[in-house]
Every structure is written in C-alpha cells, then in structure tokens.
Amino acid sequence: MSPFSFFFAAVYQAFKAIKKPAGVVVGYGLPVLVVALCGTAVEFDEYQHAIAIINDAARRDSQTYANLIMERLDTRFTELDMALATLRGSNNKLDPPLSPQVELSLRHYLLSRPTYSTFSVFGADGESIQWSTSGQKKTLDESFRDFLPVPKMPHHFLGPVHYLENLGTVVLPMRVREKDSGNTGYFLGSPYRLSRFLDTQELPPDYRNWDFTVIDTRSGQSLTHVLHMQAQVPPLLSVKPEMVVLAPVPGYPFVVQTQVSSSRVWHAYSQQAPARWSAEALLLVLLVLVGEFLIRRRDRERMTHLRRLSDFNMFMAQASQCASQANDEAGLLQEICDMAIRYTHFKIALITRPDEAQWFQMLAISGVRAYLNNIAISARGDLPEGRGTIGQVWRTGLPLFNVSFSDNAILAPWKERALKLGLRSNTALPIYRDGKVWAVFSVYHEKSDIFDDQLQILLKEVCINISMGLDRIYSQQLKTALLDNSLVGILLVKDRVVQMTNSYATHMLGLEPDALVGQSTQIIYADKSEFDRITECYEQLAQNRTVRITGVRLARSDGQMLIADFSGVKLSDLQNDISVWTLEDVTSRDVARRLYHALVNAADAVLLATNEKEICSRACLDLVRDTLFHAVWIGRVSEAGQLEVLSHAGEGTEGIEKINNCLDGYCSLPQPLVIMRAWQEKDLAYSNDELAEQANSPCFEFIHANNWRAVLSTPIWRDGQIWAIITFVSPQVQVFDASSIALCKRVASLLGHALDKLDVKQRIECLQEQEAARARHDVLTGLPNRLALTEYLPQALARAQRQATSVAVGMIDLDGFKLVNDTYGHEAGDRLLQQLGQSLQSRLRQTDYVARLGGDEFVVVFEGLTSTQAVEQVEVVLAALHAAIETPFPVTVGDTATVGMTLGVAFYPQDGMDAEYLLQRADKAMYHAKQNKKMREKWWFLVKDLEDDAPDAHLS
C-alpha cells in the first residue's frame, strides 16, 4: 500500500467513526479535506525526497563503478603502450621477423604481467598475425574494420565483445598502434577478459548492493548479460528514465546502467514515516474533536436562527395579506407595527413621517413606548437629532441596519436610553408611496448582530408590501375620485355588452344614468360600419392587451354626430373577454383637424400645380382626402341653366351632370339648390341638411343617392370676375359653422389667387420668351446676332466631334456696300442688308446657319460635312450663296444696287479646334482674299491656302 492510500484510508475510517447524518458530514468535509490535502502533500514531498536520496546514491555508486572500469581500461592500454616500447628496443624500431632476443624479451615481459593470457603482434593491416604467444592462425576471424578508436587516444582501439574459444571466455579485444615515419606500423593486441573487466570486488561493500549493467553504446549490448551468455537487451532509450540511473564511462563507449527498485525507495521512505504518521493522526483526531464541538454549537445557533426566520416569514406573510386587503392607511400602519411585536419579538416597532418643520411624527407605534418619551427625531442632517438611522434613511432612501448601539458612535445621543431599556440593535427602512419616500419603518431588538442577510431581505420585502398596500389604497381613492370627476367616458365591456359606465359616458351620449348597462355596444355607434370597425380591433386588443382607435363616429340620442377617440385595455387579472374602454370627445378637435387638412391640401394644390386644369384637379382631390368632405367639384352654370363640371373628386361626382335633368326652371323652385343660389347671387351659399330641404325637389332622388347632407358652394373669382363655383359636400349634417365657412371661403380665395397668379406667370413667360428672342436676333435683318452665334458655334463643334464630321466656318464681308450708303443713304443700305439676309437664309441647307455680326459682316456655318470631301461640299453651297447677290437689289423707288462678297473659310477640326480660333482664322482668310481681290479667281479663300507670312487680320 502506498503512503497516500494509507492516509486516505485513515481519513475514511475517521468519517465512518463519526456516524453523523449527511449534513453534518458535509460540515466536516472542508476542514478534514484541508487536513487530508496537507497530509498528502507532506507525504508526497517525503516520498519524493526519498526518491531523490536513492537516486543520488545510485548515481554516485554507478559513477564510481564507471570510473573503476575507466581506470582498468586506461591501465591495460598503458601496459600495451609499455609493451610496444619494450619491443622497439634501443633502436626504436620493430622489424619482422622478430629476432630471438626480441621474442625472449617479450616473453619475459609477459611473465611479469600474469593478467595477459594472450599477446599478439599484428601487421599494418591489423589482421595478419606476425607473432603471438598462442599458436593461433596467421589471420584472425574478426575484421579490423570492427575496431573503433578510443576518442581520447586515437591510436588505441577497442574491438567487439565476443567469445574466444582458446580462452573459453568472453573477451574485449584491445589494440594499440605504433607509428613509423608517419606511416602506420604494427599493432599490439591483447584480449581483455570480460569477467575481469566487469569485476565489482574492488568496490566498497555498500556500493555492491546495486544491479549494475554495463552497456556497450556502440551496439547497445548489455555486457553484463553477455558475460552470462544472455541475449541482447533493448536500447537504452527504451528504458523508462525515472527507473534508471546512467553513468557514462569517461572516454570510452560504455555506460553503467543502474535500476532503482521501488522497494529500496519505500525502505528509505518508511524509516521516518511512523513518527510523522503519528503526528498527522493526532492532528486529524484533534480536528475531529474541534469540528464536533463547533458543529454542535452551530446547530444550536442554526435552530435559533431558523425559529427566528420562521417568525419573520410569518410576519412577512401576515403583513402582505394585511397590505393587500387594507382600505385605510392608519389601520394598515398600526396593524403592521403590532404584527412586528407579535411575530418577530421586536421590542419596539414604529412608522414615522416628518411634518412641515422636519420633525418626525409617529404614524403608528407598538412595543416599549417609554423609549420614545421626550425624544425628538429630525429629518435635517445638520442637527444632532437628524443623524440617527431614521433621519439618514429619510434623506437617502436606503435601508440602514445598526448592528449595535454600543459600537455606533453616531447613535451616541440614544445609546444610554437604549441600553437601559435592553435595546441592542435597530434598523430603519424606507416606505414608498407614488415612487417617493413617504415614511420610515423602524424596529428595535434586544440582541446585537441580529439583522443578518436573510432578515434584511425579509424586512425589505415587508416594506415593499407596505408600499404596495399604500399605493393600492391611494389608487382606490384616486380611482373613485377619477370615476366621479373624469372628463372621459368609461365603459366596462364583456362580450360586447356594457357592464358598467361612469356618469360622463352617458352624458356624452345624451342618455340617462345607467341607460347603457346591459345593452349591446352597437347602440352607441353612428352606423354598423363603425361597430364592425371596432370589432376588427378586438383581435389586436387580444394580442397587445391595449388598442387605440381614433375618429370613431358615435350617435347621440338627439341625432347629433359625436366624434370620439377610443382606448381599450384588456383586463389580465379577470376573464379574457372583459375590457375597459375610455371615450374621449374629440368632435371639435376632429373638425378643426379636418378643416386644417383641407386648407393645407388646397395650399399644396396651389403651390404644386402648373396649369389651370391641374390646379382644379389637385384641389378637388386633396380636399376630399382625410377631411370633412366626401365630394368636391368645381363648375359653372351656363346661360341655359345647365351645370358644366370643370373638375371633381369624391363619391358620386362621376355622374354629377345628371343633375341637369331636373334643373329646368330652377329659379321658380321654392328652394333652389345651393350651387344655383351661389351662382345666381354670386356669393357663398350653404345648407347644413340639403337632403331635408330638397325633400319636395325633383332633384331629391339624386341628392339622396349621393348622400348630400351638408352642402356649401362659393364663387371662385378670376381677374375680377366670377369664373366658377366650388362646392363642398359632407355626408354629415350640421358641419358648416363659422370656422368651416371661413375655411371654404379661404379655399376659394386661394384658388382664385392661384389662377390669377397663373395668368400673370403665363404673361411674364411670354414676355420673357419675346425678350430672349430679341436679345439673340439682329433687329434689322432678323438673323441671329453675335450672342446667338457664340452660343450656337460651340454646340455645333461638339456635335461634329461626337459624329466624326467636319464643320466649315465662313466670314463674309460685302464688297461695295459703303458706296451704296454714300450714294443712296443709310436707309437704302439697311433695305439691302435686309434683302440680302433673307436671300442668304433661303439658300442655305437646313443644317446650315447664318448670323450677322454687325455692319456688312456675316458668318455662315456649315455642319454635317464629310471630313475627306468637306471643301467640295462647301463649294456647292457657296455657289448657291453667290447667286443671292447676282441680281441687283432694289434700294429706292426705281433704283437698284449691286454689291459683291468676300468669304474666308476655316474647317473644323482641320484648321482648329476652338470656335473663337476658327473665327479668327476665317477672318484672316477673308482679309487675305479682300487684299487680293483683283488677282483672285474665286470670291472665297480657304485657311489652308494661307501662306505662313500672310499678315494677320483683325476682327471687325
């Protein structure tokens, strides 16, 4: 058994000896476990220490044995070196064959070394025997390749361990090599008996108690096993390191392996164990005795605590029940204090609240009242009377537990009186009402340190229950006051049947008190569609437990319409089909909101529309969207008394022209339609119940079919004259009052202003278009001017770039025009320019462009030219242009005048990429042609034909 198993077994037996219930054993568990762990750690450390001592001893003895083997090998190699020196003789040379004197000397040397059983001289190949003390064959079986040099002496060699038949034992071959003039000479060799090599008798007696194993690291052989004719063992690395001590033989390929047995470790460990185990057992027994004492004392305290906790739980349960049923604040507070004394055995229980002067007044008290005689408690922190637990709780809103009057310096003013009455501790906790600290609950006990965590939690729960009870009482009082004085109707509904109402609900509907109780809720709605609308919301009420519905139409007993907002709440603590509904009368608000929407919608139509038809159409559409009106139209009455509808929107307006079938002789009707009255009187006319007023009218069926109840018509004035009539229709009666009438007039006024503004805008736009045309055309000829040309030419070049075509820009100057002015006058010159401009424009292609720059200068632009044939295409057009001046122009009555033209032409992109640059180049070409007018063959000149030294021209 290991020391650890023994120790844990002892702990287990100690637990069995206690024979306590499971709960008690758990109480012992932690200290016993700590002792067990400490004891285990000590024993484990002692066991490891024993392992370390044994390992150190094994390492020391193994290394001593390894050093002994090293000394034996060093000695044998030294003797071989000495034999080699003896064989060399005086001339330091060993030549075969050996002389009799050398052999005799060698034999004498061997006689002085009885340990040598065989001695041989080998040739330079290390295998051929030159001389030997035994009659061996001339060549050995082993190859010299199997010999390895000793690392520290390269001329020393060790062969493989093997069994030698002539000696009848296992030997370790050893050889030394002699050097002759830098060349390898002879070898001297002798086998080393393995029994002698591994002998341990020279070690001290206490060093021989180990199982030494000598391993040949060259082959992994265990020489100890080989000596006993055993098979090869696994390599060293296959042996567990913690069970083996290795000691290398210095300078040789051998290692001493020593196995450490667990029995040796256990023997070293157990020598000191009895005394230590006795101490640990004694400590465990003492621990068990102390634990038994502590557990018994704790059990007594726990029982006391459990009884106290049971009392507090009873107090909390009774307080909760009292708080949930009480209907009076004073009775609730006094009952709580009495129960605190009755169930929890407090000495004092009180509930207090400060007055206006910030001095606490008792709302309820029970127990030893003498403590509070002549005691003043303040809520102010700057007074000594306000620094106690009650004052602090009132200011901070946090519970405060005083574990002892004796140890709390802050409570010094109350210490002496408290101790005299046997009060050792107290606590104060806040009581809330409506989310704020409303009072302080304080209790006093005869013991110190009585308020542990569980009691603190229970006392906090009691205060929470008191707060909830106060809130409930307050809510009941407030509910009663609200129901009696509420300004909203309240209905308690079950299965769509009214169970209870308040007085305001029946007042809203014009009914007697309790007239709705037991009735279906359908009777309060204006029609079945509203009842169905509310029915659809019950599914949402079931899911979300609340719902709000706006703009519900209700029917009063006097026939008037009532608009109300509904809010429904599903009662979760009652049956699932019970709900509470509040009805808020929003008739005036709804009317105002709808009127406001109508005004805003009409304003939107005015602002966003762009023409007469759109203004009227948008106005009608917007005026029936979420307003009081379900139909709006704009129309006029012809001289024949027929209604002409210009725009309409809403219900029944698609066939409104049908009313013309019953309008014959409308002026003779006792009560003409509202729209006819407004058109005839050119003023606003309305009826809050058109259907009733037209009961005997031929139009009654039409009015009834389209649900015309309240109708208002008002003129739309345009440019100071009546232009049309806008009519508003509502399905409800009594809609039009002063505010709604003002609104309708405002809408008509907005439409009139919008139409006037539209007329002004159209006139201004026409004038602007005319002004823009005049700004871009020459006044005299009507041709585009320089401004129009500067706008047109860059666009023409951009089009040519996109289409990969060419553009020709021609600068024209008239020849002989000054002579016409001087001869016939400037008026004649102007007429010539007018005729010339018309003639040029008529002879150009649709894609060409002509502009007058001023005076007698013109510019022509030819677009859509093919880049490779641009010149030929331009020449065709220029020929047509020249025909425009071949016929003389009539300048005065009976007089005609003739002028000539000079033209310079620049091509895009051949002659330039910029519009201004092309004009400059064309002007330069024109100037060049004008200077050479007598010598030129054509009346135009191309920019590409200009010479480099041609003088620059100026732009006119």
Catalytic residue annotation:
856
Yes or no: say if 876 and 853 are a contact pair by the CB < 8 Å rule. no
Residues 6+ apart with CB under 8 A from 22: none
CA pair distance 606, 612, nearest whole angstrom: 10
**Partners of 213 in the β-ladder:** 257
Report whether 491 contacts 498 (CB < 8 A): yes
Q: Nearest Cα to 502, choosing from 526, 482, 520, 519?
A: 482
Residue 832 CA from chain centroid, whole number = 82
Determine the Cα angle at 820 with ends 817 and 825, to 5°: 125
Instruction: State the alpha helices, DSSP H only, in 186-239.
Output: 194-197, 223-227
CA distance linking residue 330 with residue 338, whole number of Å: 12
Are the C-beta atoms of residues 864 and 873 closer than 8 Å to each other? no
Query: What are the angstrom distances between the C-alpha of 466 and each of 382, 455, 530?
Result: 30, 17, 46
Q: Taking the CA atoms of 739, 745, 751 and 754 in sequence, report the sign of the dihedral they define.
A: negative
Q: CA 397 → CA 432, 451, 828, distances in Å?
A: 9, 19, 109
Rg (CA), the chain: 65
Strand order in the sheet with 436-445: 360-367, 348-354, 436-445, 425-433, 400-402
913: left (phi over 0), alpha (psi -120 to 50) or beta: alpha
Residue 658 and residue 719 in contact, taking contact as beta carbons nearer than 8 Å: no
Tokens of residue 956, six digits: 């006119």
Half-sphere exposure of 649 (CA within 13 A, CB side): 16
The two three-digit tokens of residue 674, written as one number: 């509202």
CB 518 within 8 A of CB 497: yes
Phi and psi at 814, nearest 5°, equal: -75, 140
CA distances from 831 to 569, 793, 823, 836, 896 (A): 93, 28, 14, 8, 11
Alpha carbon distance 712, 687 (integer Å): 6
What residue has token string 């009227």?
Answer: 616
User: Do residues 865 and 792 lie in contact, with contact meaning Cβ atoms separated by under 8 Å?
Assistant: no
97: cis peptide before it, omega within 30°? yes
Q: Are 352 and 377 a contacting pair, CB within 8 Å?
A: yes
Q: Three-state SS for 636?
A: strand
- CA distances 615 to 250, 256, 772, 868, Å, are 118, 117, 28, 57
CA 487-493-495 angle, 5° bins = 160
- The residues with which 917 forms a beta bridge, in sequence order, are none
- Our CA dihedral for 429, 434, 436, 437, rounded to 10 degrees, sits at -30
What does the DSSP 8-state code read for residue 247?
E
Q: Are 72 and 251 in contact (CB under 8 A)?
A: no
Query: How far apart are alpha carbons 765 and 131 in whole angstroms?
Result: 142
Non-local (6+) Cβ contacts of 916 within 8 A are none
